Amino acid sequence: MSFEISNCQIHSHYGDFEFFCFNYGECENDNVLVLKSSKEVVIPYLRVQSACFTSEIFRSKDCDCHEQLEKSLAIISEHGGMLIYLLQDGRGAGIFDKIKGMKLSQLQGINTAEAYDKLGIERDPRSYERVTEVLEYFRITSVKLLTNNPRKIDGLKSKKITVERIPLEIEPTEDSKSYLKSKKDELGHMFSKYL
């Protein structure tokens, strides 16, 4: 592992956390951000969230990323655990390619997974190696993972992390329903409650 760490306290709308930055290089996207609850628990709740600038900053209604982030922070604040935030928008493809995919979706009436295929972009190129390095740093070997994404579960299990999946389903809106359905149909996300 090759990273530097800076940390401070942060007082958020969801509670107080210790805020860590794991720095892997000079590029801003090489940072991994961590919000850690002060509650000591045997098996912590964990949310691994990738950046979604369109919803988290600009409050786009086309996905559920902002709501998943809010719900996760509330759960972690109440029950203990951490949020690991990866600065990799567009499922790791980057914001530039994500916007190209969104535009193609709008023009051709296809979902974002199909748009990525047409553009020659890997549907989900994310790696969870840095997530497992953060967990190793905190000596965490078992987690309650807040996710609907089987790739996140597999990514952690492949590094010998024991994972109990906790569903993180957000009720779809008219704007987000088709996107969430494509995540289920095209990417295998586990939705049982709403879709």
Q: Where does the pLDDT of residue 195 fall: very low under 50, low under 70, confident under 90, or very high at 90 and above?
A: low
pLDDT of 1: 61
Phi-psi region of 17 (alpha: psi -120 to 50; beta: other; left: phi over 0): beta
How far is residue 146's CA from residue 158's CA, in Å, rounded to a whole number?
Answer: 17
Give the CA angle between residues 10, 73, 68 to the nearest 5°: 135
Nearest CA to 102 among 63, 129, 132, 66? 63
pLDDT of 19: 98
Report the percent of the chain where pLDDT is more than 90. Answer: 73
Please list the active-site residues.
124, 126
Contact criterion met (CB below 8 Å) for 76 and 37: yes
Q: What is the pLDDT of residues 121-175, one digit of tens each?
A: 998 888 899 999 999 999 999 999 999 999 999 999 999 999 999 999 998 889 8
Q: What is the pLDDT of residues 41-56, one digit of tens each?
A: 999 999 999 999 999 9
Question: Could you tell me the residue ranges of all domains in the chain?
Answer: 4-88+127-187, 95-125
What CATH code would you report for 4-88+127-187?
A: 3.40.50.10990
pLDDT of 18: 97
Token pair 């790739």 is at which residue?
151
Q: Where does the pLDDT of residue 188 fall: very low under 50, low under 70, confident under 90, or very high at 90 and above?
A: confident
* Helix 112-119 vs helix 177-187: crossing angle, to nearest 10: 60
70-74, 146-150, 179-183: range with lowest mean pLDDT: 179-183
How far is residue 77's CA from residue 70's CA, in Å, rounded to a whole number?
Answer: 11
Q: Tally the C-alpha atoms within 13 A of residue 165's C-alpha that lie toward its C-beta.
A: 17
pLDDT of 93: 87
Structure tokens at 106: 């709008």
